[in-house]
Chain A
């Protein structure tokens, strides 16, 4: 368990660093839309789908693989809190006074809602696609080799 926690910690550090460096390469400050976070979350969800699909298709996958590369690396690489905060009204003080009025629409509210739904639908779709691809690539092979083993 201690080894597993150490692996998750190491992989979590790598995941966070990866997101930091991608954010440095493609900074979001000048953008009207958080493309970088969206790309990080889409790619991370797709890769996690691939990983879990492969691990499910191959029962012999070592126990530490999914916690390390899934829970540690890919889950830390993606972020939920940044998405939620980006969708929150931009300036807390003023926005909160205005939020009392139902008619208030913060600047870019439609874009941010689009961002939220694009993230949710896109990432879920990417995860599903990843699992489907993994099943297609490894599932059949895993089943066949299991059959071969049991028959021989």
Chain B
């Protein structure tokens, strides 16, 4: 994502990763379908961020090339949202159900994550187009 690995990015990604992991941990532990919520939320937010960054890149908006905006977007995308979303946990849960013989339920878990992920990312991108910067 970035080539300039500065201290702000390293500290920020660490703090963001901690925040994302704890949020997902709490969602998964106390909410039914919490893992699906975590992955969907991360796709929504990353879609929004992606839309804003694309707009800035195309239009040369304020701070488009500044190191700070690159650092902040890396912290958000790679730290917070990267850690809030997870591939490994979904894989393991699907594998467990698959090996227990619940093939349809296993496929359904991936279908739900991917389907809601796409929908949420699309909504996020659309929201970024509607928001003030656009």
Contacts and interface: CB of A to CB of B under 8 A. Distances in A.
Interface of A: 5, 8-17, 19-20, 23-24, 27, 41, 44-45, 47-49, 52, 67, 70-72, 74-85, 87-88, 91-93, 96, 116, 119-120, 123-128, 130-132
Given A5-B26, A20-B79, 10 more contacts: A10-B18, A45-B88, A71-B21, A72-B21, A76-B21, A81-B121, A85-B46, A92-B54, A123-B88, A124-B98
B87 A119 contact: yes
Interface of B: 1-3, 5, 9-10, 13-22, 24-26, 28, 39, 42-43, 45-47, 50-51, 54-55, 58, 74, 77-79, 81-92, 94-96, 98-99, 106, 110, 113-114, 117-118, 121-122, 125-126, 128-129
B85 A93 contact: no
B87 A83 contact: yes
11 contacts: A12-B18, A13-B18, A14-B17, A17-B10, A17-B17, A72-B25, A79-B86, A85-B46, A92-B128, A124-B91, A127-B95
B15 A92 contact: no
Contacts of B15: 13
A120 B90 CA distance: 9
Contacts, number: 201
Contacts of A92: 50-51, 54, 125, 128-129
B89 A75 contact: yes
Given A84-B114, A84-B117, A71 B24 contact: yes
A80 B117 contact: yes
A116 B43 contact: no
Given A19-B78, A80-B113, A123-B88, A5 B118 contact: no
The secondary structure that dominates the B interface is helix
A71 B25 contact: yes
B88 A127 contact: yes
A85 B88 contact: no
Nearest to B92: A127
A71 B94 CA distance: 16
Given A45-B88, A124-B91, A127-B94, A75 B10 contact: no
B22 to A, nearest CB: 5
Nearest to A119: B87
